[in-house]
Amino acid sequence: MKIFCIGFNKTGTTSLQNLFNKENLTSPQEYYEFEQLLDHYICGEYSICIDLIKKTYNSYNFFQDIPFSFPYFYKELYKEYPDAYYILSVRNNSEEWYSSLMRYYKLKFKNFNTLLFPTTPNEHYIYKVLTKVWGAPLNDPYNKIKLMDSYNNHNKEVKNFFQSKGKLIEVNLSTPTDFNKLQN
C-alpha cells in the first residue's frame, strides 16, 4: 500500500507520518532530497520530481510534505500512481491554517519580519514556497489573503479532481472521528 499526503504543510502532515510509522508503514525520515526539487517544481519540470520519487518509491509506504503537498502536483502523482491512496489533510478553516503557519515561521526564523530580504538558504527556500508556490506577492510573502486563497483553492481542486476516483481520504486531525477514516 502506498499513501501520499497531499494536504498543505501545517495541516497535521507530520502527525500523520508519526501515526503511520507506529502502524509499521515506512516513510522517509528526512525529506532533504525531495526539498531539493523545489526549483524543478516551480519551473514545471514535474518529470524530474517523479523520477526521484520513483527511485525511493519502493522503499516507503507513506510520503508527505514537499513536493507532495504542492498545488497541482497530486495530478502528476496520480498519473504515475493511480492505485495509491491520497490523504488531504486539512485544518478547520484557512484562518486556522494561516495562524499555524505563522506561529511555525516565527519560531523557526529569528528574523521573521525580514523574510523580504532572505539571507540564509532556509529563508530563501521558504520565501520561494510562499511566493512561487503559494502565490504570495514578492513584496509581501506573508500576505494572509493570498496564502489563505491558495490553501482554499488547493483543497477545493483536490476534492474536485478526486471526486470520481475514490482514492481520496480527507482528514482533519482535530476531529477525532476522522481517525476512523484511516482505518479503512
DSSP per-residue letters across 61-125: SEE-STTTTSTTHHHHHHHH-TTSEEEEE--SSHHHHHHHHHHHHHHH-TTGGGTTS--SHHHHH
Answer for the pair 53, 41: CB distance below 8 angstroms, yes or no. Answer: no
- C-alpha cell at position 124: 530563501
CA 107, CA 127: separation in Å to the nearest integer?
16
The pLDDT value given to residue 118: 78
Indicate the average pLDDT of the chain. 88
Residues 106-111, mean pLDDT to the nearest whole number: 79
Q: Among 44-48, 51-55, 57-61, 150-154, whose mean pLDDT is lowest? A: 57-61
CA 82, CA 84: separation in Å to the nearest integer?
6
CA gyration radius, the chain: 16
Evaluate if residue 8 carries a pLDDT over 90.
yes
Evaluate if residue 92 carries a pLDDT over 90.
yes
Evaluate if residue 178 carries a pLDDT over 80.
no
Helices 73-80 and 46-57: angle between axes, nearest 10 degrees: 50
Answer for the pair 105, 111: CB distance below 8 angstroms, yes or no. Answer: no
The pLDDT value given to residue 184: 54
Q: Among 97-101, 175-179, 180-184, whose mean pLDDT is lowest? A: 180-184
- C-alpha cell at position 24: 509499521
Of residues 31 and 152, the one with the higher pLDDT is: 152
pLDDT band at 30 (very low <50, low <70, confident <90, very high): low
pLDDT band at 22 (very low <50, low <70, confident <90, very high): confident
Residues 63-91, mean pLDDT to the nearest whole number: 93
Most confident region among 5-19, 38-52, 150-164 by mean pLDDT: 150-164
Residues 83-97, mean pLDDT to the nearest whole number: 96
Q: Is the peptide bond before 82 cis (omega within 30 degrees of 0)?
A: no
